[in-house]
Amino acid sequence: MKELYLIAAMTEKRVIGADGKIPWHIPQELGLFKKLTTGNIIVMGRKTYESIGRPLPDRETIVISSGNIEGVTTYRTILDAVRAGERSDKKLFFIGGADIYNLTVNIVSHMYISWVKGKYEGDTYFPEIDFLQWREAEKTYFDNFTMVHYTRPQSSSYSLM
């Protein structure tokens, strides 16, 4: 069973998005996202893909959608994406948005969360989860955010998907 990853940036109130976009611009945080995901597989919801507007360079992009999107690999279910990950030796990162986090937060064993400082308003939230079930493997402080790498044993529910 392959280990799965999730990466997100959120405020302490779990805000991840506003009006289809990310409500902050923190280049250093984007740099970390790029460093972690480059060379790997990124899986996102159709709305997140539309907000980015193109496949990100040097990464294999998978979009989850009930429709077909030109120019990018599209799967109808998370399980299809996980199977594609199993066939690859690359890491697979779920990169949002809220729909995708809701569907995957229970099957990943690594989460990279950037806790963004500031009171940003939003309309899209990371799911409410019990962080006590996660171990802080690494924590790095930056001016505008703190990046925490959380780990836990691979969830057995993954094999039941």
Ligand X SMILES: NC(=O)c1ccc[n+]([C@@H]2O[C@H](COP(=O)([O-])OP(=O)(O)OC[C@H]3O[C@@H](n4cnc5c(N)ncnc54)[C@H](OP(=O)(O)O)[C@@H]3O)[C@@H](O)[C@H]2O)c1
Residues of the shown chain interacting with ligand X in the complex, contacts defined by CB under 6 A = 8-10, 16-17, 20-22, 44-48, 51, 64-67, 76-77, 95-100, 103, 124
User: Judged by CB, which is closer to ligand X: 46, or 149?
Assistant: 46
The residue number whose beta carbon is nearest to ligand X equals 97
Nearest distance from residue 136's CB to ligand X, in Å?
Answer: 19
As a whole number of angstroms, the distance between CA 128 and CA 13 comes to: 10
Is 109:4 a contact under the CB 8 Å cutoff? yes
As a whole number of angstroms, the distance between CA 17 and CA 33 comes to: 16
As a whole number of angstroms, the distance between CA 65 and CA 27 comes to: 28
At residue 84, φ and ψ (nearest 5 deg) are: -65, -40
Nearest distance from residue 78's CB to ligand X, in Å?
Answer: 7
Return the structure tokens found at 13. 């109130």
As a whole number of angstroms, the distance between CA 15 and CA 18 comes to: 8
User: Judged by CB, which is closer to ligand X: 24, or 89?
Assistant: 24
Nearest distance from residue 17's CB to ligand X, in Å?
Answer: 2
Considering only CA atoms, which of 88, 86, 61 is closest in space to residue 75? 61
User: Judged by CB, which is closer to ligand X: 68, or 153?
Assistant: 68
Nearest distance from residue 110's CB to ligand X, in Å?
Answer: 15
User: Judged by CB, which is closer to ligand X: 9, or 62?
Assistant: 9
